[in-house]
Every structure is written in C-alpha cells, then in structure tokens.
Copies of this chain bind each other. A is one copy, B any other.
Amino acid sequence: MRYIDAFTHFFSKPFFDALVQTPAGQKDIGKRVRGIPALYDIDDRLRIVDLYPDYTQVLSIGMPATDRLWGPDQSPQFTSMGNDGLAEICAKYPDRFVGWAASLPMNAPDAAVKEAERAIKDGANAIQLHTNVNGAPLDEERFWPIYEVIEKSGRPILLHPIRTRDMADYKTETNSKYEINSVIGWPFETGAALARLVFSGIIDTYPNLKVITHHLGGIIPYFEGRVGHSWDQMGARTSDEDYSLVLKRLKKRPFDYFKGFYGDTALAGARAPTICGISFFTPDHVLFASDCPFDKEKGTMYIRLTIEVMESLDLPPTDMAKICHGNAIRMFGLKG
C-alpha cells in the first residue's frame, strides 16, 4: 500500500537556528526539540523515511506555533523563513517529501493573509493552523479574512492543537500538572476549536473550508453522542447567554458540521480508537498520518505502529486506498 503521511513535523535548518535563539528556544523548548534529531536534522529524517516502503511525508513546521515564539513584529518574517525551508526540502527530495503545509503569523492577521496568499502561490499544499492564537479563539473577527483566502485556494487546513495561554496561568494547575494538558488536553483543545468554527458561523460563511484535524478529530468522535444530542439542546442547560439563538442562526444541525470535518490517523498506534474515528468521519474524510517524529523512538515508532493498525483494519481496498493516500492526493493536490 502506498502511504502518504499527511501530518508530520520538521524544522528546516535556518528556521531551527532562529527558533533556538528565541527566549523560549533558549530554555525548555530548545532543550526539548534538540532531543529529537529527526525534527531538524534532514539526514536523520531521510533515514527514517527510507525505512518504510512506498512511504512519503507531507511536512509541517513543528510546535510551538511561530506566533508563540515571536511577537507580531517578527513572526511574519520568521514564519516565511520556516515555510520557505519546507518548500526547499520538498523541492530537493520530492521522492520522500511530497508536499508541505504553510504556517501563518496569526498574531499579525494582515501579514497572515499575505503569507497565506504567498505560500499558496509558492505551492503550499495546505495551511497549518493551531487551535488558538496565544489563547485567542480562532473565531475572532480579525482572523476571518484568513479563512476567506484559504477557502478560495481550495487547500485544506491542517489543525494542530496547542494549549491556551490562559492554561499556563491556571491557578490550581488541575490540568497543567503532570503534562495533562499536552497528553489529553490537546484533543480537547481540538474539539473546542472546531466548536468555535461551527458556532461562530465561520463554516456557514466559508462552507468550502476543509479542516483536517490532527489526532483523528480530538475528543469529537468518541463523544459524538454528546456532540449530537447535547448541542441539540444548546441553551437548555445555561441561561447566562441565550444560546438557542446560536442554534437558530446555524444552517444545519451542529452534529452535521462536525461530521463534515476531516481527521488524520495520528493516534499513536491505537487500533480500536482508529476504527471509532473512521466510523465517525467515514473513509472519505480520514487521512493517514503518524505525527512523526514525536514518539519515544524519536521518529520511527508512530509510523510503524500506525501502518500496522491500518494493515490490521480489514477495510475494503478502495477505502484503504483513500485513507492511505487517495484523500491526500486529492486534497493536497499531489501527483497521483
């Protein structure tokens, strides 16, 4: 089976050098990323990709978002540098890296619009967004022109979770201690961001926006029952704001918007959840992805485990082909 890995993380050399110069990069983030060579060392990354037959990757810049590393005065230039780095690597190794997702300097929305236009013109196959912008939800008015540009391009959004800034101030640390936020809070952040896109009317305004969620929809598929029935009752259980008006404004049942999103298979090699997620999104809306290189083998394990899960699923060959490469070819505009 041909595998196109839709969501993997890499820093080009110039971008990595700039990242580790930032205040965050000089502390914990620098230490963390340095520990994973395949995140910035192209030779190590090529070694890993070559371990798997008929396997290629789509590259995205790794965490944290550029708008966390640099203020709005600097994030545009460094984001462009990061994007150019990915484009160059794809041009140099087209048989291993078949596409790339552009990041945007979301803390400078005007520049983000320009960078989206520039990157798409330069061949970006997707736009990577994070689930909030320094804690601000994705539905703030200043971000809407960005969605207009992305929708017009036809390219999908790759949605990556990131903790809200506020979480860091979390007084009691209920949810930030023990890495709770990154391990299980991120999938919630993904669901929260999708909900904001739906209930704000962004999806009604830009109905052709295609949002591919990392980690197979985050919390949404396992809680499809609540997503359906609880949001059908929106407004029944709160009275501080009349949410029944939100329901009336929407063009569809809330559940149907969530079903319209996409998910990748990056679930760290868990089989039953993969079945659950494919059942929710359907094979037309799921893309193979591994989250390479964020595993304890520093890049090989999640690719191997996720392929193993896919091979074990006993899906009809047409569905298997869609998930493993067909949807990626179609959505990212790759060579068939």
Contact = CB atoms under 8 A, between A and B. Distances in A.
A165 to B, nearest CB: 8
A232 B180 CA distance: 13
A221 to B, nearest CB: 7
Contacts of A315: none
A2 interface: no
A247 to B, nearest CB: 10
B219 A219 contact: yes
A267 interface: yes
Interface in A210-246: 215, 219-234, 236-240, 243, 246
Contact of A195 (B135, B180, B223, B226): B180
Q: Which of A165, A196, A302 has the most CB of B within 10 A?
A: A196
Interface in A25-72: 27-28, 31-32, 35
Q: Which of A195, A222, A230 has the most CB of B within 10 A?
A: A222
Contacts of A302: 229
A244 to B, nearest CB: 11
A231 B179 CA distance: 8
Given A196-B174, A196-B177, A239-B31, A225 B272 contact: no
Contacts of A305: 225
B226 A268 contact: yes
Contacts of A156: none
Given A225-B269, A301-B229, A239 B172 contact: no
A225 B184 contact: no
B268 A222 contact: no
A284 to B, nearest CB: 16
B280 A272 contact: yes
Q: Which 9 A-B pairs have the closest CB atoms?
A: A225-B268, A222-B222, A225-B270, A188-B188, A272-B279, A276-B276, A28-B239, A178-B199, A184-B191
Interface of A: 27-28, 31-32, 35, 132, 135-137, 164-166, 170-175, 177-180, 182-185, 187-189, 191-192, 195-196, 199, 215, 219-234, 236-240, 243, 246, 267-270, 272-273, 275-277, 279-280, 295-296, 301-302, 305
Given A175-B188, A178-B243, A184-B195, 7 more contacts: A137-B172, A182-B230, A188-B219, A215-B223, A222-B276, A223-B267, A275-B275
